[in-house]
Amino acid sequence: MAGAGRVVWVNGPIVVGAGPAGLSVAACLRERGVPSVVLERADCIASLWQRRTYDRLRLHLPRAFCELPGMPFPDHYPEYPDRAQFVHYLHAYAARAQVEPRFNQSVTSARFDRAAGLWRVRAEDVSAGEEAGAVTEYIGRWLVVATGENAERVVPEMDGAGEFEGPVTHVAEYKSGEAYRGKRVLVVGCGNSGMEVCLDLCLHNALPSMVVRDSVHVLPREMLGVATFSVAVFLLRFLPLWLVDRILVVLAWLFLGDLAKLGITRPSRGPLELKNSKGRTPVLDIGALARIRSGEIVVVPAIRRLLRGGAELVDGRRVAADAVILATGYHSNVPQWLKGTDFFTEEGYPRVSFPDGWKGESGLYSVGFTRRGLSGVSSDAVKVAQDIAMAWNHQTATR
């Protein structure tokens, strides 16, 4: 049946993506009596968390800020649930809300048909079964884009990549440092993933060097037992963002010291401002800085080019390496398949910033593009579900 085409009428919204954003909005819709169809290109929910994250990963924020609408974390969960606990929570959330995504459905295009007043979403079956390659067109009044900010890997081009003899892998493929014991590893990137991978490599007796290509804000995860994020949220109730940013930078200096001495410089713009405007998440330190101070993690500048057995840095130094791990992040893929609308920028984010970037025209919505993590997901999901439910109820009443 490969290549066979069929058309499916969706009596409700078409939701693209079955990560936390897609699950949240589908659950909120169901709670309001609105059916939906959730399309997911992977063969499981939350594929980023299940397939593309490292074993030691934990939620960076306290669990209270990461709950999805309508379901708190179990009481026995720690303040910062680990990867396995969060995945279990998501499965329980989907089961409770009876959200059953259609897996292996890779959306290739979505376009609003103005003549019909409907969305036409084409998806290809990417399974290995008999339906592989089959194309289905889903038609409905509403489209919810829930593929999120981490849909595709960012893989920078590197001079000399073909010359380097060791493996060059993205952090999406990294599980633990077990495979790197005794090896010299260049970790490109100093965000949360880069820092945590370097820490994990140390714990497995590898020899990591962290490539710092840009300035970055590093904050303590907690200050005197209180989560830094909780402190920021509290201060924002009373103070402007720019002032909270200054306070956070001063507190970070008091708790962490002058990181410039370690080769890590702070941006001129504050951590919250950068997160809101550029999506650059501040690093929450969970132990990597101590390893940098002890010399177990070596901080180096950007790579000029890879060599046969290592890399040449922009300052002219050469470092030996057996492997390279790219902790260079992810990006949105919405512009690749959503056509005929300028609601999203070329980078794949809503043009209107939070908290008003969840609704477009002609029944188009977005969830999970707030640059505010899971708390932003929940906020968007509730708003989108409420708005669609109003239109749904009006449509039902006039039939």
Side by side, which strands form the sheet with 298-300? 168-170, 323-326, 184-188, 207-211, 298-300
Residues 292 and 368 in one domain: no
Question: Is 1 a domain residue?
Answer: no
pLDDT at site 3: 45
| CATH code of the domain covering residue 58 | 3.50.50.60
Residues 250 and 317 in one domain: yes
d(CA 9, CA 37): 10
Instruction: Look over the chain and give the mean of its residue pLDDT values, rounded to a whole number.
Output: 92
Residues 217 and 309 in one domain: yes
Question: Is 160 a domain residue?
Answer: yes
Q: Which two tokens stand for residue 273?
A: 């401002």
Give the pLDDT band of residue 398 (cuts 50, 70, 90).
low
Residues 292 and 381 in one domain: no
Residues 226 and 312 in one domain: yes
Q: Summarize the confidence of residues 6-13 as an average pLDDT.
A: 94
Total domains present in the chain? 2
CA distances from 59 to 30, 75, 221 (A): 27, 16, 11
pTM: 0.91
- Structural domain ending residue among the three candidates 295, 326, 357: 326
What pLDDT digit, counting tens, does each position of 261-290 carry?
999 999 999 999 988 887 788 999 999 999
Question: Is 224 a domain residue?
Answer: yes
- Are 365 and 388 in contact by the 8 Å Cβ rule? The answer is yes
Residues 320 and 347 in one domain: no
Higher pLDDT, 372 or 108: 108
pLDDT at site 28: 97
Beta bridge partners of 208: 185
What pLDDT digit, counting tens, does each position of 150-206 carry?
989 999 999 998 899 999 999 999 999 999 999 999 999 999 999 999 999 999 999
Residues 123 and 19 in one domain: yes
Q: Which two tokens stand for residue 116?
A: 């019909």
Residues 321 and 380 in one domain: no
Place of tokens 């009443």: 397
Q: Where does residue 311 rank: exposed (0-12), middle (13-18), buried (19+ CB within 10 A)?
A: buried
Higher pLDDT, 396 or 195: 195
Q: Which two tokens stand for residue 189?
A: 């990137």
d(CA 295, CA 355): 43
Q: One-letter amino acid identity for 57?
A: L
Domain residues for the domain of 271 are: 154-326
pLDDT at site 395: 75
User: Pick from 297, 330, 329, 308: which is nearest to 211 by CA?
Assistant: 297
Least confident of 35-39, 150-154, 318-322: 150-154
pLDDT at site 313: 95
DSSP per residue, 337-349: HB-S--SB-TTSS
pLDDT at site 393: 84
For the chain, state the CA radius of gyration.
Answer: 22
- Are 249 and 271 in contact by the 8 Å Cβ rule? The answer is yes
Beta bridge partners of 13: 142
Question: Is 292 a domain residue?
Answer: yes
User: Pick from 327, 183, 263, 235: which is nearest to 249 by CA?
Assistant: 235
Side by side, which strands form the sheet with 142-145? 37-39, 13-16, 142-145, 364-366
pLDDT at residue 129 tops 80 = no
User: In a 3-state reduction of DSSP, which class is residue 250?
Assistant: helix
pLDDT at residue 114 tops 80 = yes
List of residues 6+ apart from 167 with CB closer than 8 A:
323, 324
Question: Is 20 a domain residue?
Answer: yes
Residues 165 and 312 in one domain: yes
Question: Is 117 a domain residue?
Answer: yes
Residues 127 and 175 in one domain: no
d(CA 381, CA 113): 25
Q: Which two tokens stand for residue 52?
A: 């593309």
- Are 99 and 46 in contact by the 8 Å Cβ rule? The answer is no
pLDDT at residue 1 tops 80 = no
Question: Is 298 a domain residue?
Answer: yes
Q: Which two tokens stand for residue 327?
A: 């902790």
Question: Is 368 a domain residue?
Answer: yes
CA distances from 269 to 200, 231, 301 (A): 30, 19, 21
Phi-psi region of 332 (alpha: psi -120 to 50; beta: other; left: phi over 0): beta
- Structural domain ending residue among the three candidates 326, 347, 371: 326
pLDDT at site 399: 59
Residues 228 and 142 in one domain: no
- Structural domain ending residue among the three candidates 268, 291, 326: 326
pLDDT at site 4: 46
What pLDDT digit, counting tens, does each position of 211-263 carry?
998 899 999 999 988 999 999 999 999 999 999 999 999 999 999 999 999 99
d(CA 35, CA 13): 7
Residues 143 and 162 in one domain: no
